[in-house]
Amino acid sequence: MNYLFHPEAEQEFEQAIEYYESCQQGLGLDFALEVRATVKRIVAFPNAWPFLEDDIRRCQTNRFPYGLVYVVESDGTILFLAVMHLHRKPNYWKIRI
């Protein structure tokens, strides 16, 4: 199954990596690996996570307070709308749909 990141979601991902790396060397890499593992889970089981609204779902990462907000498009492509910190502005990503 194919997937892609909304440009702003990709930017969020990169900014979070930089933030965690600035906190502790190697933590940014750990965050990146955890997000990639979450992407793999979603690609393997795209319908396994609950809907936030309409056809938009969210899967949380295991180690960090982040969730990947995504939609499965009609052609089966998974579009990641946000790499969302779970304790900040919960609905900011809605303008991306």
Query: In this predicted model, which residue has the larger pLDDT, 92 or 59?
Result: 59
Report all structural domains of the chain as residue ranges with CATH numbers, in order of start. 3-88 (3.30.2310.20)
Give the pLDDT confidence score for residue 19 in this predicted structure: 95
For the stretch 6-58, pLDDT in tens is 999 999 999 999 999 999 999 999 999 999 999 999 999 999 999 988 999 99
What local confidence, expressed as pLDDT, does residue 87 receive? 79
81-84 long-range contacts, Cβ below 8 Å, gap at least 24?
Answer: 81/6, 81/9, 81/56, 82/6, 82/8, 82/9, 82/12, 83/5, 83/9, 83/12, 83/13, 83/16, 83/35, 84/12, 84/58
Query: Mean of the pLDDT values across residues 65-81?
Result: 96
